[in-house]
Structure 1
Amino acid sequence: MRYRFAIMAALAAACTPLPALAHPHIFAEARLEIVGGPDGNVEELQNVWRFDEVFSSSVLLDFDKNTDLKLDSAELAELGETMRTSLGDYHYFTTITLDGAVIGITKPDAIHVSLQDNQLMVIFAVKPVKPIPLKGRLTFGIYDPSMYTSIDFPTDGDLIVKGAAFAKCQHKVVRPDPDEVLSQNSASLTDAFFNDPTGTDMTKLFATRMEVTC
């Protein structure tokens, strides 16, 4: 339980971390809009995450302080701030690379949370820690390196670029074939990787991503 909440929202307190997390326990459908600014740099990444009903129900129980079986505005604000603080340890599951170099991101100004049709909806935007010019080869991905949380883009239209700055670039959504990844990286994808609860950056090989070439 502690690991589940730490990885997604750092709710509450100490229990023993789960031992082997080689498959997801939390599921979310995502939309990512990569915004190019008028200065020709990446401006921000706009995220929408919708979580599965089981996880959403557990969050409801933990943050429903007045036990009315719903989350009022104050409770939603507390949940959003908890996630904003805690997900920083996991870089908000965001990976940006420029010509292979990883670029960090800043903490979002706020994380907006709502509960719709018994599912938790999370909306926030992050910015690169430094200007990223739309030049060279860039990749943008949202994934959990621990594999504890599955973040899925249901269609290619849920992972897009926005802004006139991208007009000079080519872009495509890449959905790696797991069998091909395993075959091509058999030397590095070991049993230790699949049973490491701390996660490794090798999971990025399996993650859906946007590739941009300018």
Structure 2
Amino acid sequence: MKKSTYLMAALILLAPAAAMAHPHIFVEARLEVVAAPDGSVQELRNVWRFDEVFSSSVVMDFDKNTDLKLEPNELAEVGKTVRESLSDYDYYMNLTIDGKNVTVQKPDIIHVDYKEGQLLMFFAVKPSEKMPLKGKLTFGVYDPTLYTSIDFPTDKELGTVGDGFKNCKNDVLRPDADQVISQNKQSLTDAFFNDPTGTDMSKLFATRLEVSC
């Protein structure tokens, strides 16, 4: 069995319907939305810190020399694997401008580190189309299957960078799960039975940054 089996299985999200019940991987995240000089979104900078259980599993799969740590070349292999496996899921990015969904480009590289028993990933993605800083824009990070729980511990972990945002208002939205379920009970039920491996309905539960310019 190849060393990347566990990581690929988890991050490619080839999970059964039961994944909708509760997450199996836990991530503490940070997201910075960077403005370009021309008054559009330049890139989104991500920092992900994985839980210790998942992190230890990655060490077991990628530790070629069995020294219970990840060398630079092994960390690079983890980043390469994740860069390929999450491309079909837009790297969990959820971007909209005036309600229109915007996908992202593949990151040039995903940097990986391993500190104090936890795996960390650092990477930046760019919108696949121009996103002018006008109207209402939203930025979030979520797993459509709910297999991975991505949490922003405080509102400070969601922010903007650059003068292009100086005339914009930022709000961090943390939906109440019970309220979301109550308001969308029928559509959530239909979505699950039509596609139990994941739907866009899960973004209703995701923490996101809303920017009004």
Give the TM-score category using the shorter length: over 0.9
Give the corresponding residue for 1:155: 154
Give the corresponding residue for 1:193: 192
Q: 1:64-103 alignment to 2 at 5 Å?
A: 64-103=63-102
Which stretches of structure 1, 4 residues or more, deviate above 6 A after TM superposition? 1-4
Cα displacement (A) at 1:3: 8.0
- Give the root-mean-square deviation of aligned CA atoms: 2.0
Amino acid at match of 1:207: A
Give the corresponding residue for 1:205: 204
The percent identity for this pair of structures is 61
Q: Deviations over 1:107-156 (max 9, x none)?
A: 00100001010000000000001111001111000000000000000000
Distance in 2 (CA, whole Å) between partners of 1:122 and 1:160 is 18
Distance in 2 (CA, whole Å) between partners of 1:158 and 1:106 is 22
Matched, 1:58 2:61: no
Give the corresponding residue for 1:21: 19
Distance in 2 (CA, whole Å) between partners of 1:197 and 1:75 is 34
Consecutive unaligned residues of structure 2, counting only runs of 5 or more, are: none
Distance in 2 (CA, whole Å) between partners of 1:9 and 1:79 is 13
Q: 1:127-138 alignment to 2 at 5 Å?
A: 127-138=126-137
Q: 1:42-53 alignment to 2 at 5 Å?
A: 42-53=41-52
Amino acid at match of 1:6: A
Decide whether the 8 Å contact of 2:15 with 2:147 is kept in 1.
Answer: no
Cα displacement (A) at 1:193: 1.4
Decide whether the 8 Å contact of 1:26 with 1:150 is kept in 2.
Answer: yes
Consecutive unaligned residues of structure 1, counting only runs of 5 or more, are: 11-15
Question: Tell me, what secondary structure is at the counterpart of 2:54?
Answer: helix
Question: Tell me, what secondary structure is at the counterpart of 1:49?
Answer: strand
Decide whether the 8 Å contact of 2:174 with 2:208 is kept in 1.
Answer: yes
Distance in 1 (CA, whole Å) between partners of 2:100 and 2:6 is 29
Matched length: 209
Amino acid at match of 2:11: M
Q: TM-score, normalised by structure 2?
A: 0.92
